[in-house]
Structure 1
């Protein structure tokens, strides 16, 4: 078989050109038969043969050049002329069509010239056939039409923003050209389209915002802003590249929100304050959604929220104060009532309702954002620490809890509602700076409930102590928990005493129950050496005898003021059971041996101070139930008065409780708390100095404040006094050369 005759360059290229022209006619939709497999193989084989011939007939290099020139010729003769005839949307359609045709042409020609890709290009490190085709389009078509195409796309986007329908698929297809000509980078898209898009977007929304801010209310403006932001998000998901999302939205947010935030929030009848005033939750939620997109955009919203809540709280303080003062004026001249009346309780109920309301705002409108939790906390701290009619919120809250937990309180609630309310009160306690004051008032009232068997539910008592422990720590509730435990132990002791008495057959004239309490847990009570009636003395002696057998190292102190007696009184009309304090009962029993007694005789026989005698006689002779008659029968008590039993006294009740005039415990509680605070400050100073050895004045103050603020807000002046006191007592010393520096003395 003879050697194959080489194909000359021109002859071979003429044959290839006929194939290329056929392909072009097909792309241009001109009459032409489709490629048949044998023609395709002939074209491929021609290239193969021309590239594998022996030199000088290896035309690989020349064919690579002519491959590029084929694209240049086609673009110059057909593509550019077609594009120049169009503008706007028609230009975009034509551009996309030409790009689609170009990709088909690249695909087909790459197959014909495939042998070049496999050997010549690889060997010489040249751009691939596909890249050559792409570069031709980029250099000859894209570079000339990119500005026109960009302008046409931006025009379409503006039309869409104004409400017209546009061909989104076409826009996406054309923008894909910007991305594909970047050849694996976003450079062309960003420089040739995105930069102009961002500029146009900024200008468009600048114009819109300027018009809307003048004509729209805050809610209307926000609705428009939110709709526009959603629309821009839609553009990104439909035809813009995802990389444009953040930059595009930033332009919109800057022009619509950031630049007009304060103007929008402060709109007179529809701004943030008005939305809060009118409970426009939906608008507030939208406000949050929008301004969380802006750096620090929520700060002024949170500040407005804080001021509004604080203002609402201060309104409650004013209303409660006015109501309490009006009640005081009305009750002037009447017997004084204990703190904790209906007005005070209503104030705490109103504060709870206010907290519920605005906590709902924080969760529902402000997505539980920490900045709004902080704003709510600061607002409540401001007004919850104000005096209400001369009474602290700590005392009012303790009184409210007492009313909630005692039998016969004014809060007629179900068990679940009581639990829910207790939880809310404890949550409010977080805002009170004087938590130690609340603790002391609460402890006093808890003691009274426990000792008088006046708790509505042991379960609720345990529940609130558990909540307080969780909120304020174990130290906060340790004494209160000790009180509850004490009472359970006291019941057991009473049963043991009863058994001992029955076993020894020790009969006593009256039934007596003794509650033994641990001094450290309970509030301090005044011990008075009351001269008891003989019946009571016998019972007390019996109990002492039994107790000292098993508790040799413990001393009993009898607090008669806390005792309760049931006394049967025989009046002319009927017999009535009287429920009295031990002091009242002792006083009435004196009249079994005397028809008439003077003030002085009562005092001497009972062995108690004047002030106690006055309280007792007032409760029995001058209050609602006049068990005793006073001579002379004036309203005011005098030490020259004398008293006798009111035999004609009667009542519709078979069992009657005679209350003592209430003692204002506020002064005593405040004094106790002030004393405890001094000890706490001393302990904190010593603790700090012990660990740090030396510390300057300012640092010591700050560390002590930091340690104590969980329970109360310490006064700097008192801390300074306590430091001086500790220096005098040789716990600390001043540095000789620097009086602001302290040293710990071990």
Structure 2
């Protein structure tokens, strides 16, 4: 007869199952009992199978389901709870771990015995599975009764551990795993344990903080203790607390250690010690600062205060540098060269200040975004100030010029130069008016290139690459064009020399070098028809013929103000070589045919129209260091009534001298050029926006224009509105007839 044909009545079946359950209980309690054999297991399984597959009314599935629950409940009531109720503290916890492990074993075995219920009966009736029923029994009968006592016992042990006592951490982990497992996740752990732990921890560390601040009083000592406690709490989390508790627990502890004593920790002064955060910044106590940030890295309010303090500290340091530079610039006794050197020192100190606090934020302040933001705001405010009548944009350009030109006062290795230029470009990121830097830099780059003052071509190209990366392709387009022009000029000069050697009739008679520049790349220079001597005229004509053969469609405009000449001066003491500008050479050569010339005669014969140019020219030759001309009257300034003669008695210990023209303050011209370029940039931005949008509100157009131009300069709102009006007048835009605040693009 097959097993499914055997009839088992209810009492007989329950009796068989009860014997198996008793045997299981005895094994769990350690009583003398033979282990389960495969025959025992099959007997119990087949009994359940048969009782569940008999035809009604002999299908006892429900009764067996109830028997499963009752068996667990009876075991808990008769054995588990009494054993737990008689124990306390750590002994209760150990007993709970043992009973929980036994309960899981019992559920696992019973679930096997009653397995057929899970497969069919429970699925059809949508009842809780056997393992879930087993968990629920323990939860409702044991866990709910003991959870508060267990929680308090665990927290008590944790507090003892905080005071230095040793704990059985494996026991604590097993207990806390029960909180997690009972909740089938973290729910019961959070509600029944974590909330109380956080509350107790807050109270514990509140007491500790009061004790430490009262006894120690010195901020770094307080920080050492706080950091050690945080380390221990992290270890506690890794050993037995659930990982989800870490951010909440650390934040709670950090808050208690800081919130009450905020002002003391930020501006601590105790028994003559300046130990607060601000004082630590001032004294460069790097390790203590780093510890403060580590200890309170999860307290947002603290980090805000810290960031604001850092911002103010850096601002104060930078302001002191500015004041020092301005005091030096304002000193009546200081000459222009000393002021210039002081401004170079200022830039160097500004770079060092930036380096120092960027390193602080990256290495000591955990690279926190909040501190980077504070640093950025401090340097933006600092780098957009004026220093002794100069903008920082101008000072940075001058600083670069000093590093990159020959005979620099900054004697640096190639690696140091590259590193310093990188740091200058980093500072440029904080400057609003980057176009002002670009124009100053372009002017100085032009001088270095045209007068062979650049020390190293690789460095010149290197900084242009850095500027392009920082500010975009358009920023360096003209500068790169200038460098390329100089490379082409060398090739052009080689071709010219070949042309001259192959055409004897084209020989200019003197050594001639012409640098051809592309108009759009270079700064604008004064250009007018200087009356050249016959020798110079021949040079110009020879080169013009050569260039027209090479390029027929380009027009040459001669910039005599940039030219230099080497001429021989035959003085009575000795003959000397004079290195002068084309203007100076033209003026001196006039005295080959005239012994005495008036101011007006020189001006007329040279065809100069600007009196400022004439004054600078004659001053350099008669009133400065080298007096090649004698002036009547013999005063230190040039007047239109003056007369000049060749100084045949002039001499100098050098055989070869360079006679400079008085420097021109180019700052006004640069600013004027930048303002003009900005008008064009604003116009282009407005047209670009309107061409895309067709119709746009006046205010929105202004805002979009500010945003678009922001990377290069901070446009003035009034200037934008003025340009809009000009574009309306020029029929690029029109106002809507019904709504004057609405603008339309006219194609």
- TM over 0.5, yes or no? yes
- 1:581-640 per-position Cα deviation (integer Å, ceiling 9, x unaligned): 112222222333344444344334333244333222222222122233334433333444
- Give 3-state SS (helix, strand or coil) of 1:166's partner: coil
- Give 3-state SS (helix, strand or coil) of 2:711's partner: coil
Following TM superposition, by how much is the alpha carbon of 1:519 offset from its aligned partner in structure 2, in angstroms?
Answer: 2.4
Q: Which residue number in structure 2 is paired with residue 607 of structure 1? A: 607
> Is the 1:681–1:722 Cα contact (8 Å) retained in structure 2?
yes
> Is the 1:51–1:59 Cα contact (8 Å) retained in structure 2?
no
In the TM superposition, what are the counterparts of 1:404-443 in structure 2 within 5 Å? 404-443=403-442
> Is the 1:730–1:745 Cα contact (8 Å) retained in structure 2?
yes
- Give 3-state SS (helix, strand or coil) of 1:530's partner: coil
Q: Which residue number in structure 2 is paired with residue 500 of structure 1? A: 499
Q: Which residue number in structure 1 is paired with residue 510 of structure 2? A: 510
Q: 1:329 to 1:140 in 2, by over 3 A?
A: same
Following TM superposition, by how much is the alpha carbon of 1:322 offset from its aligned partner in structure 2, in angstroms?
Answer: 0.9
Q: CA RMSD in A?
A: 4.1
> Is the 2:24–2:106 Cα contact (8 Å) retained in structure 1?
no
Q: Which residue number in structure 2 is paired with residue 158 of structure 1? A: 159
Following TM superposition, by how much is the alpha carbon of 1:359 offset from its aligned partner in structure 2, in angstroms?
Answer: 1.8
Following TM superposition, by how much is the alpha carbon of 1:667 offset from its aligned partner in structure 2, in angstroms?
Answer: 1.4
Following TM superposition, by how much is the alpha carbon of 1:14 offset from its aligned partner in structure 2, in angstroms?
Answer: 12
> Is the 1:50–1:58 Cα contact (8 Å) retained in structure 2?
no
> Is the 2:139–2:182 Cα contact (8 Å) retained in structure 1?
yes
> Is the 1:121–1:128 Cα contact (8 Å) retained in structure 2?
no
Q: Partners in 2 of 1:91 and 1:435 — Cα distance?
A: 73
- 1:509-557 per-position Cα deviation (integer Å, ceiling 9, x unaligned): 4222222223222222222332222222222233333334444443332
Higher alpha-carbon deviation: 641-650 or 434-443: 641-650
Q: Partners in 1 of 2:57 and 2:744 — Cα distance?
A: 101
Q: 1:742 to 1:450 in 2, by over 3 A?
A: same
Following TM superposition, by how much is the alpha carbon of 1:189 offset from its aligned partner in structure 2, in angstroms?
Answer: 4.2
Q: Which residue number in structure 2 is paired with residue 233 of structure 1? A: 234
Determine whether 1:330 maps to 2:310. Answer: no
Q: Partners in 2 of 1:696 and 1:7 — Cα distance?
A: 90
Higher alpha-carbon deviation: 119-128 or 217-226: 119-128
> Is the 2:226–2:257 Cα contact (8 Å) retained in structure 1?
yes
Higher alpha-carbon deviation: 676-685 or 123-132: 123-132
Q: 1:374 to 1:14 in 2, by over 3 A?
A: closer
Q: 1:77 to 1:403 in 2, by over 3 A?
A: closer
Q: Partners in 2 of 1:49 and 1:501 — Cα distance?
A: 120
Determine whether 1:712 maps to 2:713. Answer: yes
Q: Which residue number in structure 2 is paired with residue 579 of structure 1? A: 579
TM-score, length of structure 1 as denominator length: 0.85
Following TM superposition, by how much is the alpha carbon of 1:390 offset from its aligned partner in structure 2, in angstroms?
Answer: 0.7
Following TM superposition, by how much is the alpha carbon of 1:168 offset from its aligned partner in structure 2, in angstroms?
Answer: 1.7
**Which runs of 5 or more residues in structure 2 are unaligned?**
1-5
Q: Which residue number in structure 2 is paired with residue 731 of structure 1? A: 732
Q: Partners in 2 of 1:90 and 1:68 — Cα distance?
A: 28
Following TM superposition, by how much is the alpha carbon of 1:348 offset from its aligned partner in structure 2, in angstroms?
Answer: 1.5
Q: Which residue number in structure 2 is paired with residue 569 of structure 1? A: 569
Higher alpha-carbon deviation: 214-223 or 484-493: 214-223
- Give 3-state SS (helix, strand or coil) of 1:630's partner: strand
Number of residues of Structure 1 aligned to a counterpart in Structure 2: 730
- Give 3-state SS (helix, strand or coil) of 1:710's partner: coil
Q: Which residue number in structure 2 is paired with residue 692 of structure 1? A: 693
Q: Partners in 2 of 1:733 and 1:453 — Cα distance?
A: 52
In the TM superposition, what are the counterparts of 1:298-309 in structure 2 within 5 Å? 298-309=303-314
Determine whether 1:459 maps to 2:458. Answer: yes
> Is the 1:138–1:181 Cα contact (8 Å) retained in structure 2?
yes
> Is the 1:60–1:116 Cα contact (8 Å) retained in structure 2?
no
Q: Which residue number in structure 2 is paired with residue 350 of structure 1? A: 349
Q: Partners in 1 of 2:642 and 2:407 — Cα distance?
A: 36
> Is the 1:614–1:637 Cα contact (8 Å) retained in structure 2?
yes
> Is the 1:340–1:399 Cα contact (8 Å) retained in structure 2?
no
> Is the 1:340–1:396 Cα contact (8 Å) retained in structure 2?
no
Q: 1:653 to 1:159 in 2, by over 3 A?
A: same
Q: Which residue number in structure 1 is paired with residue 3 of structure 2? A: none
- Give 3-state SS (helix, strand or coil) of 1:341's partner: helix
Determine whether 1:478 maps to 2:482. Answer: no
Q: 1:7 to 1:277 in 2, by over 3 A?
A: same
Q: Partners in 1 of 2:556 and 2:68 — Cα distance?
A: 116
- 1:661-714 per-position Cα deviation (integer Å, ceiling 9, x unaligned): 111111122222222222222222222223223322211211221222222211
Following TM superposition, by how much is the alpha carbon of 1:442 offset from its aligned partner in structure 2, in angstroms?
Answer: 1.6
> Is the 2:230–2:295 Cα contact (8 Å) retained in structure 1?
no
Q: Partners in 2 of 1:636 and 1:61 — Cα distance?
A: 122
Q: 1:636 to 1:85 in 2, by over 3 A?
A: same
Higher alpha-carbon deviation: 243-252 or 689-698: 243-252
Following TM superposition, by how much is the alpha carbon of 1:560 offset from its aligned partner in structure 2, in angstroms?
Answer: 1.6
TM-score, length of structure 2 as denominator length: 0.85
